[in-house]
């Protein structure tokens, strides 16, 4: 485990020493503050509007941080050749993959925490109300969902060596799942064969990332999600994360690395 | 004398092309033995197979046939790399880390206790003359400094065997001299050094024995003095004779 945490530590250091996170955080903060200052249509419930914008920005920023950070990990190691002195040490390829995964996941978790603290301060200062448990569930479920996204991006970075193409493909896939994944079964109902089978197969194969989205509960204060559902969602995310990490390891373990 | 590094009929083939129809033999059937405590030069022209052989020894490339051993352990097992240090040709280490952080990271990988790691980091930064720059991020380092931090990382675990792939490539004369001095120092400490190089003068100065390969085949192996005496010339001339350069130019 020491090797895995050492590898993860380097990824976390990389995140806080690069500008990506700060740029996204400042943008989110500026847009949210600007939106909070504008009082459209004299609506007294403007705070919901601010919450909606802030949550959307947090989701987009967290996805960007997770995918961009992960997609560049292995290609950057190969390009700068740091992978060679690293794997020349008693580090297995499995440890390398796990170290990168945990590093990206923890780094994204830290970023997510900063975003949510900002969100709580902004909305709490307007409403004088802090539903901490709802925030805790929201951040946990989003972080669990990001574990799947990070494992998927890591898997993509083994297939495609260019971080830009991995980032684009993963972002499209994740956005597609979040926006349309939950409706694929309804689409399948209105199709003829073989399209119906294809749509159903995709529906049952893809990780349903939209299940982790409880933004509306936070925005409209609908109360807590059943804790058992949270546990099941966590197990669901763990299963898909494990699957993608296994595929990454299978693809990477026999890969020739020529210096 | 005990053998620290050994290859047995090592063959490496690379396939390429869309249907993987083209096969290139990078190493034919390489038999090598390196003894404990010697500085061993691994020579050959570009494309001879030196780096491929090193890649197999480090587990980066699986052999097509044959086997390679470090300390008697098959190189496919990660534990074979516990007591080695490796310096690749030219590497750009994590730019966002300082030299001290980089060495601490590698020390953690070897599971060195904190106090021992601190001591080792101080010793190594002194050895490679980077004490003044230890807190500076690596992105501000010159090429020579980067290579020296690379040498420090290769020594973090106090290895018994050091594998260096063209350690002086791209360095200025001063940088080369410093690397050579460090190799000499390691030799005096009884470490085994296996290194590939194009700098034959350098090889002649520091190596006990050399192996010369060309087109994936071992052409000669032995003491530098023996090869020089056998060919009645300096190492450069002997090297050219062995790889058949003169024969080609004469024909």
Residues 81-120 of chain A whose Cβ lies under 8 A from any Cβ of chain B: 81-82, 84-92
Residues of B in contact with A18 (CB under 8 A): 96
pLDDT score at B86: 92
Query: Tell me, what's the pLDDT at B90?
Result: 73
Return the exposure string of B155-173: e unless at least 16 CB atoms fall within 10 Å of the residue's CB, then b.
Answer: bbbebbbbbbbbbbeebee
CA angle A93, A96, A102 (to 5 degrees): 140
Q: Using a CB-CB distance cutoff of 8 angstroms, which residues of chain B are in contact with residue A92? A: 78
A14–B59 CB contact, under 8 Å: no
Q: Has residue B139 got a pLDDT over 70?
A: yes
Question: What burial class does residue A92 get, using C-beta atoms within 10 Å of its C-beta: 0-12 exposed, 13-18 middle, 19+ buried?
Answer: middle
Is B96–A18 a contact, with Cβ atoms under 8 angstroms apart? yes
Cβ of A17 within 8 Å of Cβ of B96? The answer is: yes
Of A236-250, B13-27, B224-238, least confident by mean pLDDT is B13-27
Check if the beta carbon of residue A241 is closer than 8 Å to that of residue A154.
Answer: no
Residue A130 near residue A124 (C-beta atoms within 8 A): yes
- For residue A119, the number of C-alpha atoms closer than 13 Å in the C-beta half-sphere is 29
The reply to whether A76 touches chain B by the CB within 8 Å rule is no
Kindly report the nearest CA distance between residue A23 and chain B, in angstroms: 18
- Parallel/antiparallel/unpaired status of strands B161-165 and B192-196: parallel
Cβ–Cβ gap B94/A5 under 8 Å: no
The DSSP annotation for chain B comes to: --EEEEEEEEEEEEEESTTS-EEEEEEEEEEEEEETT-EEEEE--TTSSHHHHHHHHTTSS--SEEEEEETTEETTSGGGGTTEEEE-SS----TTSBHHHHHHHHHHHTT--HHHHHHHHHHHHHHTT-STTTTSBGGG--HHHHHHHHHHHHTTT--SEEEEESTTTT--HHHHHHHHHHHHHHHHTT-EEEEE-S-HHHHHHH-SEEEEEETTEEEEEEEHHHHHHHHTS-HHHHHHHHTTHHHHHH-
Query: Which residue in the set B52, B54, B109 is minimally distant from A91, CB to CB?
Result: B109
Query: How far is the C-alpha of B215 from the C-alpha of B44, rounded, in Å?
Result: 9
> How far is CA A245 from its chain centroid?
15
Report the DSSP beta bridge partners of residue B34.
Answer: B5
* Residues A206-215: tens digit of each pLDDT: 999 999 999 8
Q: Is the pLDDT of residue B250 over 50?
A: no
pLDDT of residue A42: 62
Average pLDDT, chain B: 86
Each residue's pLDDT expressed in tens, for chain A with a length of 259 residues? 789 999 999 999 988 888 878 888 888 888 877 776 766 566 667 778 888 888 899 999 999 999 999 999 999 888 888 899 999 998 999 999 999 999 999 999 999 999 999 888 888 887 778 888 999 999 999 999 999 999 999 999 988 778 888 889 998 999 999 999 888 888 888 888 888 899 899 999 999 999 999 988 888 888 888 999 999 999 999 999 999 999 999 999 878 777 6
Q: Which residue in B208, B224, B163 sits closest to B35, CA to CA? A: B208
How close is the nearest chain A Cα to the Cα of B78, in Å? 5
B56 touches chain A (CB under 8 A): no
| A230-246 per-position pLDDT tens digit | 999 999 999 999 999 99
| B46/chain A closest Cα distance in angstroms | 13
CA A110 to chain B, closest CA, distance in angstroms equals 19
pTM: 0.88
> Domain limits of chain A?
2-253
How far, CA to CA in Å, does A123 sit from each of A53, A116, B188? 11, 10, 68
Quote the minimal CA–CA distance from B84 to chain A in Å: 8
B86/A88 touch (CB, cutoff 8 Å), yes or no? yes
- Strand pairing partners for B222? B210
Question: Which residues in chain A are closer than 8 Å to B55, comparing Cβ atoms?
Answer: 256-259
More confident residue, B100 or B167: B100
Tell me the residues of chain B between 12 and 51 that have a Cβ less than 8 Å away from chain A: 14, 51
Predicted confidence at residue A50, as pLDDT, reads 80
Please say if the pLDDT value at position B18 is more than 80: no
């Amino acid at each position: 485990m020491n090797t895995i945490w050492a590898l993860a530590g380097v990824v976390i250091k990389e995140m806080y020493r690069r500008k990506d996170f700060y740029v996204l955080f400042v943008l989110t903060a500026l847009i949210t503050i600007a939106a909070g200052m504008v009082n459209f249509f004299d609506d007294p419930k403007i705070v919901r509007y601010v919450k909606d914008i802030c949550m959307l920005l947090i989701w987009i920023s967290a996805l960007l941080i997770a995918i961009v950070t992960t997609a560049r990990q292995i290609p950057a190691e190969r390009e700068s050749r740091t992978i060679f002195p690293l794997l020349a040490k008693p580090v297995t390829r499995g440890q390398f993959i796990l170290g990168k995964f945990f590093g990206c996941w923890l780094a994204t978790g830290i970023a997510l925490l900063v975003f949510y603290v900002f969100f709580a301060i902004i909305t709490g200062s307007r409403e004088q109300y802090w539903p901490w448990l709802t925030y805790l569930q929201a951040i946990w479920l989003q972080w669990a969902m990001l574990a799947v996204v990070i494992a998927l991006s890591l898997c993509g970075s083994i297939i495609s060596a260019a971080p830009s193409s991995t980032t684009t493909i993963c972002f499209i896939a994740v956005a597609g799942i979040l926006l349309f994944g939950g409706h694929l079964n309804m689409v399948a109902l209105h199709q003829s064969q073989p399209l119906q089978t294809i749509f159903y197969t995709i529906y049952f194969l893809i990780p349903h990332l939209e299940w982790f989205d409880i933004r509306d509960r936070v925005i409209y204060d609908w109360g807590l999600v059943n804790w058992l559902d949270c546990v099941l969602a966590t197990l669901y995310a763990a299963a898909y994360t494990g699957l993608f990490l296994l595929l990454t390891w299978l693809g990477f373990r026999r890969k020739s690395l020529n210096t | 004398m005990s053998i620290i590094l050994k290859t047995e009929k090592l063959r490496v083939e690379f396939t390429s092309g869309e249907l993987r129809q083209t096969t290139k033999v990078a190493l034919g059937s390489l038999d090598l033995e390196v003894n404990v405590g010697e500085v061993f030069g691994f020579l050959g022209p570009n494309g001879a197979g030196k780096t491929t052989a090193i890649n197999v020894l480090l587990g980066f490339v699986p052999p097509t046939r044959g086997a390679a051993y470090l300390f008697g352990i098959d190189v496919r097992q990660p534990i074979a790399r516990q007591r080695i240090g490796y310096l690749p040709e030219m590497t750009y280490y994590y730019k966002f880390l300082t030299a001290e952080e980089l060495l601490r990271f590698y020390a953690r990988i070897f599971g060195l206790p904190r106090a021992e790691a601190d001591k080792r980091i101080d010793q190594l930064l002194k050895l490679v003359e980077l004490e003044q720059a230890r807190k500076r991020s690596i992105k501000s380092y010159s090429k020579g400094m980067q290579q020296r931090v690379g040498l420090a990382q290769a020594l973090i675990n106090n290895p018994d065997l050091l594998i260096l792939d063209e350690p002086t490539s791209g360095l200025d004369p001063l940088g080369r001299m410093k690397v050579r001095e460090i190799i000499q120092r390691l030799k005096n400490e009884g470490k085994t050094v296996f290194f590939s190089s194009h700098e034959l003068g350098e090889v002649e100065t520091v190596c006990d024995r050399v192996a010369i390969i060309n087109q994936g085949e071992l052409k000669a192996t032995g003491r530098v003095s023996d090869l020089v005496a056998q060919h009645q010339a300096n190492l450069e001339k002997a090297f050219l004779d062995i790889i058949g350069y003169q024969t080609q130019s004469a024909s």
